[in-house]
Amino acid sequence: MSIENSEFPDEIKTLLDGSDYAGPASEGAVGELEDKLGFNVPAQYRVFLLSYGAALLHGFEIYGLADTEDGEPPTWSDVRNELRPTELGGLLNRLIPISDDGGDYTFYIASTQDDESLGEPVVAYGPGVDGKEVAVSFFDFIAIAQRDGVATLLR
C-alpha cells in the first residue's frame, strides 16, 4: 500500500501541521531504519516519517527519525533510540514503538505487510496490557490520542 503526502486524511494533516515536528526524514534514513528492523515500516508511519520526521502533539509524542544532536528544545524521541536490543530481529512480532503514555505503557505499530488484509494496527504493552489493540491504524491512533488523550486508549 503506497500513501503519498497528499493522501494524509485532512484531519491528521491538520493535527500534524499544527504540532511541533522535527522536519521530514530522508528516504535514506527510513531505509536505514528498515535495515535495522529487518522489515519495512508500515505505509502510514512511512509517510509520517518522510513528511514530519517526529512530532510533539498535545499530550503525547510520536517517535520518529530526527536529528537530536543539538540538545535544544524541543527534543525528539528517535525511534532508533527506543528499540531495545532484545527486540531487534523479532521485534515483538514486527512491532515498532511509536509512542508512550509518559509512564509504563508503550504503543507499537504492527508491520503486517506480508498480509495487508490484517491492516497496520497500533497495540499497547505495559503492566496488565499485553498487546491490546488500541487503534486500527497509525492515523486512527493519532486522531484518538489527540481527541481523547492517550490514557483513554488503555481503557
Q: Is residue 73 part of a domain?
A: no
Give the domain range for residue 40: 5-62+84-153
**What pLDDT, on a 0 to 100 scale, did the predictor assign at position 7?**
76
- Please name the residue that has the C-alpha cell 488484509: 117
- pTM, 2 dp: 0.86
Name the percent of the chain lying above pLDDT 90: 62
| Overall number of domains in the chain | 1
Q: Is residue 29 part of a domain?
A: yes
Q: Is residue 18 part of a domain?
A: yes
- Burial (Cβ within 10 Å: 0-12, 13-18, ≥19) of residue 77: buried
Q: Is residue 94 part of a domain?
A: yes
Q: Is residue 69 part of a domain?
A: no
**What pLDDT, on a 0 to 100 scale, did the predictor assign at position 73?**
62
Q: Is residue 37 part of a domain?
A: yes
Q: Is residue 141 part of a domain?
A: yes
Give buried/exposed letters for 126-155 (b at 16+ CB in 10 A, else e): eeeeeeeebbebbbbbbbbbbeeebeebbe
CATH of the domain at 144: 3.40.1580.10
- Please name the residue that has the C-alpha cell 526524514: 25
Spatial CA neighbour of 37 closest among 29, 68, 135: 29
**What pLDDT, on a 0 to 100 scale, did the predictor assign at position 115?**
52
132, three cell numbers: 491490546
